[in-house]
Structure 1
Amino acid sequence: MTAESQIILKLGVPKGSLEDATINLFERAGWKIRKHTRNYFPDINDPTIAASLCRVQEIGGYIEAGILDLGIVGLDWLMECGLEDKVVRIADLVYSKTSNRPCRWVLAVAGDAPYQSPRDLEGKRIATELKGLTSRYFDRLGVNVNIFYSWGATEAKVVEGLADGIVEVTETGTTIRAHGLRIIDEVMCSYPVLIANKDAMNDPAKRAKIEQITLLLEGALRAESLVAIKMNAPADNLDAILGMLPSLNSPTVSPLQDARWLSVETVVNIDVVRDLIPRLRKAGAEGIIEYALNKVI
């Protein structure tokens, strides 16, 4: 059997801003993607998957056409290309620890401009990379504007007097403020989404592979915000220690050779650990171990 005959699924890996986060996520889920410097077909440690590195703006179209079966795109570009109903949206992949946290597309104007709301921009010029989404946004508001495509340095368009406002992507708004601009509305919130070809979802072998990938990707994402805590707890203060421990279900409590002590293990949100460990120590817990998790299913 040749390598090609084993391939079940054609996977689109987004090139650009989502690239590193996607590769890291797949690795935590169990699939190692290794790029080559001279081509767009990375290796993957699964003979049933063929991976292609594609521009995020193009992946949705390739999946709709059946050139790819599965891929990750930004929700913004899925909507910009009008593909929401033409592909299957499998899962929202909100990366909490990586660089690809949810981002916002915002409407911004010069800091000293008189505009206070989108309706104040009636008849004005708006620069953006997302012409389709921006057009639908203003249409919903009933505001007539002149939208033109920005090929980059969008924030500078207002500064240079080429536009009265922009629709641009931001996480914190820092870059927009650094250009002397002011946000007056949020157009949409975007994050990575896993999408599939409709025919692929009707193919039993492909669907099974897609469901396997989805399960493990979501498990890897869930694990990003969690850690495991293990400790030795004095039996005479067990109830107090258990009362401090949030968990997915309930903590695991196991006997030790010394009946005065018990082993306690649980999974908690990473944000509570710095406050939790000192409290556990004060309550008599010893040998406290914290360790990272790859996946939580």
Structure 2
Amino acid sequence: MKPCIALTKGRLEKQFLEYFQSLSYDIEPLKNKGRKLRVETDDFLFVFAKGVDVTTYVEHGIADLGIVGEDILAEFQPDVYSLFPLPFGQCRMALAVEDGKEWPNRKRRIASKYTNITKEFFRQKGESVDIFKLEGSVELAPILGLADGIVDIVETGTTLKENGLVVKEEFMQFSARIIANRSSLKIKRDVLAPVIQSFQKGVSV
């Protein structure tokens, strides 16, 4: 039985394919998949989904393994086995505010896709804030007056800069991680072990 691997679509998918190719796997069927969300190769079955959905497919055993950002694991805490970090997808979580604008003394309003991470961050600081959950471009929230600041993933900082925001505080470092379904690790051990070992070798190179 072929291992099923769930991949996070977009940026992480491209970085994974480069990494996968560096391990001497054939990525041609994955590069030329078009809009297909399910691709079968000689050795694997791949499914492509949003990050949080990757964890759902792995948690429920639809996929044996998953490639997902560590931020998703920290925010949603799915019931999966987090195996080890991968050498790509590096980013950081940050609190950002409008450049030059004073941080208010009143109860602050924060916008984020990551409400659980945000809540825990301010709890550890001993500060109570109002949190607004946004799914789209959170950079708009301070510009339009919805929030005093945002908590979001930062890679290069270009998007923040182009929207007049600056990092006030960085507080978490993330990378891509390989996750596994708990039952699959036992039931499909003979099939999954060589794959996991090859990924580990790639990490240590």
Residue identity opposite 1:37 in structure 2 = G
Structure 2 distance, partners of 1:122, 1:77, is: 30
Residue identity opposite 1:69 in structure 2 = D
1:94–1:168: structure 2 CA closer, same or farther, 3 Å change rule?
same
Please state if 1:60 is matched with 2:42.
no
Structure 2 distance, partners of 1:72, 1:38, is: 19
Residue in 1 that maps onto 2:42:
45
Please state if 1:135 is matched with 2:123.
no
Match of 2:194 among 200, 209, 212: 212
Structure 1 distance, partners of 2:13, 2:167, is: 28
1:207–1:164: structure 2 CA closer, same or farther, 3 Å change rule?
same
Q: Tell me if the contact between 1:14 and 1:22 (Cα under 8 Å) persists in the aligned partners.
A: no
Q: Deviations over 1:42-83 (max 9, x none)?
A: 23231xx32111111211122111111101110000111112
Please state if 1:88 is matched with 2:76.
no
Residue identity opposite 2:15 in structure 1 = A
1:158 CA drift (Å): 1.0
Residue identity opposite 2:53 in structure 1 = E
Residue identity opposite 1:94 in structure 2 = P
**Paired residues for 1:1-297 under 5 Å:** 7-33=1-27, 34-35=29-30, 36-46=33-43, 49-83=44-78, 86-95=79-88, 100=89, 102-115=90-103, 123-203=107-187, 206-223=188-205
Residue identity opposite 1:172 in structure 2 = T
Residue identity opposite 1:66 in structure 2 = G
1:28 CA drift (Å): 2.1
1:193 CA drift (Å): 0.3
Residue identity opposite 1:107 in structure 2 = L
SS in 2 for 1:57: helix
Structure 2 distance, partners of 1:90, 1:67, is: 18
- Among all aligned residue pairs of Structure 1 and Structure 2, give the percentage whose two residues are the same amino acid: 30
1:201 CA drift (Å): 1.4
Q: Deviations over 1:17-52 (max 9, x none)?
A: 201111222222233242422421123231xx3211
Structure 2 distance, partners of 1:74, 1:89, is: 11
Between 1:24-33 and 1:157-166, the stretch displaced more is: 24-33
SS in 1 for 2:192: helix
Q: Which runs of 5+ in 2 are unaligned?
A: none
Q: Tell me if the contact between 1:155 and 1:176 (Cα under 8 Å) persists in the aligned partners.
A: yes
TM-score of the superposed pair, with normalisation by structure 2:
0.88
TM-score of the superposed pair, with normalisation by structure 1:
0.63
Residue in 2 that maps onto 1:273:
none
1:180 CA drift (Å): 2.1
Q: Deviations over 1:143-169 (max 9, x none)?
A: 111111223222122122121000121
1:121 CA drift (Å): 6.8
Structure 1 distance, partners of 2:38, 2:148, is: 42
1:104–1:122: structure 2 CA closer, same or farther, 3 Å change rule?
farther
How many residue pairs get aligned? The number is: 202
- CA RMSD after TM alignment: 1.9
1:78–1:121: structure 2 CA closer, same or farther, 3 Å change rule?
farther
Q: Which runs of 5+ in 1 are unaligned?
A: 1-6, 224-297
